[in-house]
Amino acid sequence: MNCDDDAESDTDDGRTEEPTRVVAQGTFDVLHPGHVHYLEQAAAFGDELHVVVANSESVSHKPDPIVSDDQRRDVVAALEMVDHARVGHPSDYSAPVRAIDPDVLVLGYDQHHGDEEVEAMLESWGVDCRVERAEPREPEEEELLSSSVIRERIRERRALEPLQ
């Protein structure tokens, strides 16, 4: 993960050009190839990928994360395409997005907010950026691309194991 504060570069004509900042957000609990695909697509929209990992206290649309906030952030930060990763605010979803002030916000293909809803939220927060949505990825062979499917598979296999 790059934590370099010198994000600006000089152009040939002496002007300073800022990199295109991209934000991707998610819970990233039980990281899997679908998450990696989403972040690769998000990174392709700009020069710097900032990832906001959902604060456990703010996750209300799915089961509570199994892995701690800091561990999820650290694993996401270790991915090559991620430049900056942070844990989101426990109650103010806008705080990290406003702090980053992105040029592009990329939604996962299955994130539950609609594009127009997100555009309206960004406008109300004073953030001027475009909204893109990542494409889904088809699983290869036995690949699992869903944290809930992975959790269910673990439960099924545990149920089949004899007690020791």
Please state the residue numbers annotated as binding site for ATP.
27-28, 32-35, 110
101: left (phi over 0), alpha (psi -120 to 50) or beta: left
> Could you tell me the two tokens for 131?
């909204």
Task: Give me the torsion for CA of 96, 7, 51, 120, rounded to 10°.
Answer: 50
Residue corresponding to tokens 């600006």: 8
Give the C-alpha separation, 115 to 97, whole Å: 16
User: Backbone phi, then psi, for 41, in 5-degree steps?
Assistant: -65, -45
Annotated binding residues, as ranges? 27-28, 32-35, 110
Give the C-alpha separation, 67 to 111, whole Å: 20
Give the C-alpha separation, 67 to 87, whole Å: 13
